[in-house]
Amino acid sequence: MNRQKYSVAPFTVFSSFWTKRSLIWQMTKRDVIGRYRGSVMGMLWSLLNPILMLIVYTFVFSVVFQARWGEGSVSKTEFVMALNAPLGGKQASQVEALIKENV
């Protein structure tokens, strides 16, 4: 059995992605459409879920537990960002953008 060797050099990998971008786009689109097919809210839920979690976390920790970050007056935006930092890359960046729009 003769196996073909592939290069893992960054330029070669990027070049491969670039030449197959149409296939990657089609497969990504098919996956996203298939994931939300048959659900009531569809792709809207993927946007609403992090926002709702942000609201719930902020309410629980700032109103119910009356938690504070640091000494002195910390703004609500700083509190929300520190509280929701563990959400991760994509969700945190989406939430940050929504906070900046609404503050």
pLDDT in tens, 50-64: 788 878 877 887 777
Residue 26 within any structural domain of the chain: no
pTM beyond cutoff 0.75? no
Residue 7 within any structural domain of the chain: no
Residue 25 within any structural domain of the chain: no
The pLDDT of residue 88 is above 60: no
Give the chain's domain count. Answer: 1
DSSP string, 63-97: IIS----SSS---HHHHHHHHHGGG-HHHHHHHHH
Residue 27 within any structural domain of the chain: no
Residue 88 within any structural domain of the chain: yes
Residue 70 within any structural domain of the chain: yes
Quote the domain boundaries for residue 81.
44-102
